[in-house]
């Protein structure tokens, strides 16, 4: 499994703590250190719409100017934004066998995915 996120994000911390406490092996991909490649984003977009991948409730989105926000209208514009500002991606993203199995952290869903 691979967990994508930012180490200082509280939701990512909850997910990592849960995975560690349940002795679930995972690789952590730090958006801040490693960014995110276009192929990975396209893979995610094949599974979830950009509206779910971009966290429009987060500080990064709210800090964008209105022109930038209104310019995000499709996958192409969303990819550019997610690569330029990785903090706008909903996190954490939990990937298992190349499939996005969870966006955000939901303990019950993690139990179902990881412990079954």
Residues with a catalytic annotation lie at 9
How many Å apart are CA 12 and CA 30, to the nearest integer?
A: 10
Cβ atoms 91, 6 nearer than 8 A: yes
Cβ atoms 12, 91 nearer than 8 A: yes
> Long-range contacts: 63-69, Cβ < 8 Å, 24+?
64/88
In 3D space, the residue among 80, 75, 113, 79 whose CA is nearest the CA of residue 94 turns out to be: 113
Residue 45, both tokens: 């977009």
């Amino acid at each position: 499994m691979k967990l994508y996120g930012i180490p200082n994000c509280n939701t990512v911390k909850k997910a990592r703590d849960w995975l560690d406490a349940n002795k679930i092996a995972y690789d952590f991909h730090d958006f801040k250190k490693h960014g995110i490649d276009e192929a990975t984003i396209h893979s995610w977009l094949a599974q979830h719409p950009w509206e779910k991948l971009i966290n429009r409730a987060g500080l990064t989105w709210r800090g964008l100017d209105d022109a930038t926000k209104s310019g995000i209208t499709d996958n192409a514009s969303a990819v550019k934004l997610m690569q330029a500002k990785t903090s706008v991606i909903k996190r954490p993203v939990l990937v298992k066998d190349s499939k996005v199995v969870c966006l955000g952290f939901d303990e019950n869903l993690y139990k179902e995915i990881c412990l079954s």
